[in-house]
């Protein structure tokens, strides 16, 4: 694996910091502070992906694991790279761009997975290979203009709000067909499929309903005009619900905390209420 694995915290430091109280709960996230700990977290997530795929009669190779590194600084991201990660998802453009510069020596791929304002489109074009939260024509047009000027293309997922919550970004399901039909005019955008965030709930049936809806919308789009939806991939599932998403057909799961450890920043920072 290329790339300087820099100053990882020594193990003594880790032992001190983790101060295990013996109260392990299944939902605990293990903060990785060494290459070995990243390998262990990645192996565990991969094992759970494989098990969920098997339950659904699917091949685990159909599911991309996208590590989400938001709030994690380069020292630990470099450890994740040494453990085998080559591509990272980030919610905020500024943070992602800064990291891509800091780690330019590693030639990583970056996916922007959070809401974008059209005036930030130029920043995405500078470094990202993928944008997963496309939900407005204005943003598509801004990206296309900048991409064309830069002579490059961008993989995009169209974000749908499947939970009908105001706090979630993404378009209402009924607007998807019309939106997809307008995207071919933006020749630099390569539509890969659809993306969603499920409702945050311990009620797994409500979560599952969101994922089912995204799959249904994808299937309908494939029937109507397959050329409009690229590969028809489904990006859905996070640390708390990726197994359900895989059972419902996910092709990309965006996993942060189960790889990097629990985030101190509350989720409301990313999905304003
Ligand atoms: C943060 C984030 C994730 C990952 O969430 P975790 O709970 O860390 O797995 C997935 N998708 C989006 C859009 C995010 O912003």
> Which ligand 1 atom is the nearest neighbour of the CA of 113?
13
d(CA 225, ligand 1 centre) in Å: 30
Instruction: Yes or no: say if 173 and 194 are a contact pair by the CB < 8 Å rule.
Output: no
d(CA 89, ligand 1 centre) in Å: 8
**What one-character DSSP code corresponds to residue 127?**
H
CA atoms of 94 and 90, how far apart (whole Å): 10
Asked if pLDDT for residue 31 goes beyond 60, the answer is yes
Our CA dihedral for 53, 54, 60, 63, rounded to 10 degrees, sits at -10
Sheet with 154-159: list strands edge to edge: 64-67, 252-255, 233-235, 189-195, 154-159, 130-134, 109-112, 87-90
Q: For 199-229, what is each residue's pLDDT tens digit?
A: 999 999 999 999 999 999 999 999 999 999 9
Asked if pLDDT for residue 131 goes beyond 70, the answer is yes
From 155-169, 172-186, 188-202, 235-249, the region with the lowest mean pLDDT: 155-169
pLDDT at residue number 27: 59
pLDDT at residue number 24: 39
Q: For 38-88, what is each residue's pLDDT tens digit?
A: 999 999 999 999 999 999 999 999 999 999 999 999 999 999 999 999 999
Ligand 1 cavity residues, CB under 6 Å: 68, 70, 91, 113-114, 197, 238-240, 254-257, 270
pLDDT band at 28 (very low <50, low <70, confident <90, very high): confident
Q: What is the mean pLDDT of the segment spanning 163-179? A: 92
d(CA 113, ligand 1 centre) in Å: 8
Q: Which of 30, 49, 72, 238 to mutate to test the pocket of ligand 1 (most atoms within 8 A of CB)?
A: 238
Q: Is the pTM of this model over 0.85?
A: yes
Asked if pLDDT for residue 5 goes beyond 50, the answer is no
Q: What is the mean pLDDT of the segment spanning 15-27? A: 40
Q: Which of 41, 70, 162, 167 to mutate to test the pocket of ligand 1 (most atoms within 8 A of CB)?
A: 70
pLDDT band at 3 (very low <50, low <70, confident <90, very high): very low
> Which ligand 1 atom is the nearest neighbour of the CA of 91?
15
Asked if pLDDT for residue 186 goes beyond 60, the answer is yes
CATH of domain 35-264: 3.20.20.10
Asked if pLDDT for residue 9 goes beyond 80, the answer is no
Strands 64-67 and 252-255: parallel
Task: Count the neighbouring beta carbons within 10 Å of the beta carbon of residue 99.
Answer: 21
Name the residue at shortest CA distance from atom 15 of ligand 1. 91
Angstrom CA distances, 171 to 165, 175, 241, 253, 266, stand at 11, 6, 21, 20, 23
pLDDT band at 100 (very low <50, low <70, confident <90, very high): very high
d(CA 100, ligand 1 centre) in Å: 18
Asked if pLDDT for residue 137 goes beyond 70, the answer is yes
CA atoms of 73 and 232, how far apart (whole Å): 33
Instruction: Yes or no: say if 74 and 103 are a contact pair by the CB < 8 Å rule.
Output: yes
CA atoms of 143 and 120, how far apart (whole Å): 9
Q: Which residues contact 239 (CB under 8 A, 6 or more apart)?
A: 29, 255, 256, 257, 258, 259
On the CB side of 62, CA atoms within 13 Å amount to: 18
d(CA 253, ligand 1 centre) in Å: 9
Q: Tokens 């974008």 sit at which residue?
A: 116
Q: How far apart are the first and last CA of the chain?
A: 41
Q: What is the mean pLDDT of the segment spanning 160-188? A: 94
Q: Which of 68, 163, 242, 266 to mutate to test the pocket of ligand 1 (most atoms within 8 A of CB)?
A: 68
> Which ligand 1 atom is the nearest neighbour of the CA of 240?
7
CA atoms of 241 and 27, how far apart (whole Å): 11
> Which ligand 1 atom is the nearest neighbour of the CA of 133?
13
In the numeric block, which tokens belong to residue 113? 């997975």
């Amino acid at each position: 694996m290329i790339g300087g694995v820099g100053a990882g915290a020594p193990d003594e430091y880790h032992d001190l910091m983790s101060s295990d109280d013996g109260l392990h709960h299944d939902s605990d996230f293990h903060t990785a502070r060494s290459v070995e700990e990243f390998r262990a977290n990645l192996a565990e997530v991969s094992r759970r992906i494989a098990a969920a795929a098997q339950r659904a009669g699917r091949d685990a190779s159909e599911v991309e694991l996208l590590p989400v590194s938001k709030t994690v600084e380069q020292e630990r991201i470099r450890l994740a790279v040494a453990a085998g990660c080559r591509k990272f998802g980030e919610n905020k453009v500024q943070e992602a761009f800064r990291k891509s510069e800091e780690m330019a020596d590693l030639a990583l791929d970056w996916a922007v997975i959070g809401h974008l304002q059209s005036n930030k489109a130029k920043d995405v074009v500078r470094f990202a290979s993928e944008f997963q939260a496309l939900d407005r024509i204005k943003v598509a047009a801004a990206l296309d203009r900048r991409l064309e000027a830069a002579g490059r293309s961008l993989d995009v997922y169209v974000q749908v709000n499947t939970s009908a919550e105001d706090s979630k970004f993404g378009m209402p399901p009924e607007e998807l067909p019309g939106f997809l039909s307008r995207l071919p005019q933006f020749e630099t955008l390569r539509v890969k499929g659809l993306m969603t965030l499920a409702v945050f709930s311990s009620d797994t049936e409500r979560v599952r309903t969101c994922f089912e809806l995204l799959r249904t919308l994808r299937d309908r789009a494939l029937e109507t005009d397959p050329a409009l939806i690229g590969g028809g991939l489904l990006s859905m599932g996070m640390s708390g619900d990726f197994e359900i998403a895989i059972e419902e057909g996910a092709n990309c799961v965006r996993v942060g905390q189960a790889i990097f450890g629990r985030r101190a920043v509350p989720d409301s920072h990313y999905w304003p209420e």
